């Protein structure tokens, strides 16, 4: 079955009156702040907090969203609002390795706690467990009215096993090579020969079915579903987006694709899909879940933001030379279009991953003062260690850490300032001191505002000089105030010395200073 993908794309472009040009990104020059919640667990938690049933999106007390906005956030990602099937839920409730994992992360869990993976989507209609389509439409209007954008999920690589297409449109899926004897290998294929979803490594995802992005009919149908998501959202987070890149997709599924006569498309799916969506919704924001080394590939095909998990892992490694090299070794373009996080629903909690709540806080000083999407996860602010498994409605209870709550209240007030969202980022060197090996420094400038960030992710004090060529006298007075916004301490320093020999800093272990000057 030979498919002429180029003719299909040409027809699709003509039909939608597109012009062939790269769609430019509309994201701010400095960065945005996004807060992720797992929607059904959040609603369950709020039901307990408010001692009242919260059964729909519109039941969520709106003050919760207003509190998020008041911390400076631009966007909320409500993860997991789409319709799921019985197959995935049954799998999640009966698979023995999963049940053992639940017992580890939530001792004494009950079956009612297992709510099903939000990444085994049957259809892009609203999950009845969170309400109706109109509830989602109305919530978005209310969020937009207070200046919050709404991000929703798109799961491109696969559908749920019991999605309608698995029986009505089998050619939309990767299938066992023609002539493969039955029964098919149940580690790779469903009984009907459709492959389970997979990343090409780490085994199959047995609650999902693998889509075939070299089939132009599948591509056309998926773009329509992506347009459906876009009609409800201001931003779209695309799960495991890099798996659709032609080179990787072809490598993962070469045997099956060749057997059925599929040829590599002339264009990347994302290049075509993002352009089509942005023609109809010009301001929509695309975020890609992606892992090294494919981040820049996805920026090139049109994603506004791409995960930067490498920075996350490099910081945790504790080698400040590597941290500085990663930041200074990439272009502003790359960093500005990267999403930086301490944790998210796929990752361990920050306090767990970095080893303690104070190390996690220190990591956040670097993570959230860089350009790009500042990506926070529900529970970060409380300093939690216990994982919220994606299949469950709750995690093991633990007390919040007051110091971490106060820390994030201060940090979010700092990085929500326009200088961090609209300003110019400049990497700086620490000089004149052998004890600056553990420091990373950079500045932000916007209009008349300036910020200097000097940060220390190590167990030793760091010192050094940082030259600030834009330090200026105030009203002819060479001595100017330099205020550390984290401690609210003001120092008075010579602007001439700051321009020439530099500002001398002393940074305690696992901490930093963010100066206004």
Interval 340-367: pLDDT, tens: 999 999 999 999 999 999 999 999 999 9
Tokens of 132: 């109706």
Q: Which of 206, 120, 209 is nearest to 165 (CA)?
A: 209
The answer to whether residues 86 and 129 touch, using CB atoms and an 8 Å cutoff, is: no
pLDDT, average across residues 305-309: 98
4 has a pLDDT exceeding 60:
no
Q: Which residue has the tokens 């940090």?
A: 411
Averaged confidence pLDDT in the chain: 95
20 has a pLDDT exceeding 60:
no
Tokens of 300: 């090139």
387 has a pLDDT exceeding 90:
yes
What CA–CA distance (Å, rounded) separates 112 from 102?
Answer: 12
385 has a pLDDT exceeding 80:
yes
pLDDT in tens, 107-134: 999 999 999 999 999 999 999 999 999 9
- Burial (CB < 10 A; 0-12, 13-18, 19+), residue 132, is middle
pLDDT, average across residues 157-184: 98
pLDDT band for position 24 (cuts 50, 70, 90) = low
pLDDT at 14 (0 to 100):
34
- Burial (CB < 10 A; 0-12, 13-18, 19+), residue 125, is middle
pLDDT in tens, 480-507: 999 999 999 999 999 999 999 999 999 9
26 has a pLDDT exceeding 80:
no
Which backbone phi and psi does 381 adopt, to 5 degrees?
A: -70, -20
pLDDT band for position 434 (cuts 50, 70, 90) = confident
5 has a pLDDT exceeding 80:
no
17 has a pLDDT exceeding 90:
no
pLDDT at 431 (0 to 100):
87
459 has a pLDDT exceeding 80:
yes
What CA–CA distance (Å, rounded) separates 375 from 364?
Answer: 10
396 has a pLDDT exceeding 60:
yes
pLDDT at 2 (0 to 100):
32
């Amino acid at each position: 079955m030979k498919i002429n993908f180029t003719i299909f794309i040409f027809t699709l472009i003509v039909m939608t009156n597109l012009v062939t040009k790269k769609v430019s990104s509309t994201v701010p020059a400095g960065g945005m702040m996004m807060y992720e919640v797992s929607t059904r667990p959040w609603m369950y938690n709020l039901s307990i907090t408010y001692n009242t049933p919260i059964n729909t999106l519109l039941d969520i007390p709106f003050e919760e969203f207003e509190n998020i906005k008041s911390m400076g956030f631009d966007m909320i990602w409500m993860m997991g609002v789409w319709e799921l099937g019985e197959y995935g839920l049954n799998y999640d409730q009966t698979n023995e390795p999963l049940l053992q994992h639940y017992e580890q992360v939530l001792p004494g869990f009950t079956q009612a706690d297992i709510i099903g993976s939000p990444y085994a989507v049957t259809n892009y209609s609203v999950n009845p467990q969170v309400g109706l389509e109109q509830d989602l439409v109305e919530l978005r209007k209310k969020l937009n009215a207070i200046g919050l954008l709404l991000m929703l999920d798109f799961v491109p690589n696969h559908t749920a096993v019991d999605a309608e297409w698995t029986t009505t449109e089998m050619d939309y899926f990767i299938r066992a090579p023609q002539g493969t004897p039955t029964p098919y290998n149940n580690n790779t294929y469903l009984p009907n020969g459709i492959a389970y979803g997979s990343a090409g490594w780490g085994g199959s995802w047995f609650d999902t079915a693998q889509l075939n992005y070299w089939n132009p009919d599948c591509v056309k149908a998926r773009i329509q579903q992506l347009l459906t998501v876009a009609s409800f959202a201001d931003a779209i987070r695309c799960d495991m987006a890099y798996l659709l890149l032609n080179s990787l997709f072809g490598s993962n599924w070469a045997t099956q694709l060749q057997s059925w006569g599929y040829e590599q498309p002339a264009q990347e799916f994302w290049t075509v899909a993002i352009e089509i969506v942005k023609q109809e919704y010009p301001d929509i924001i695309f975020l890609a879940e992606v892992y090294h080394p494919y981040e820049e590939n996805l920026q090139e095909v049109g994603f506004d933001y791409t995960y930067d998990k490498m920075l996350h892992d490099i910081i945790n490694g504790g080698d400040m030379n590597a941290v500085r090299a990663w930041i200074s070794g990439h272009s502003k373009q790359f960093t500005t279009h990267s999403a930086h996080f301490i944790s998210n629903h796929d990752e361990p909690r920050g306090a767990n991953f970095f080893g303690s709540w104070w190390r996690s806080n220190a990591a956040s000083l670097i993570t959230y003062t860089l350009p790009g999407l500042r990506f926070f996860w529900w529970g970060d602010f409380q300093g939690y260690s216990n994982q919220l498994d994606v299949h469950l409605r709750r995690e093991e209870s633990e007390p919040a850490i007051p110091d971490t709550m106060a820390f994030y209240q201060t940090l979010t007030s700092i990085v929500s300032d326009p200088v961090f969202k609209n300003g110019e980022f400049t990497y700086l060197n620490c000089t004149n001191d052998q004890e600056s090996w553990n420091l990373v420094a950079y500045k932000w400038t916007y209009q008349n505002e300036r910020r200097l960030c000097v940060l220390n992710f190590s167990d030793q004090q760091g010192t050094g000089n940082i030259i600030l060529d834009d330090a200026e006298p105030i009203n002819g007075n060479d001595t100017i105030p330099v205020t550390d916004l984290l401690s609210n301490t003001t120092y008075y320093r010579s602007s001439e010395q700051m321009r020439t020999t530099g500002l001398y800093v002393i940074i305690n272990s696992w901490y930093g200073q963010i100066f206004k000057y």
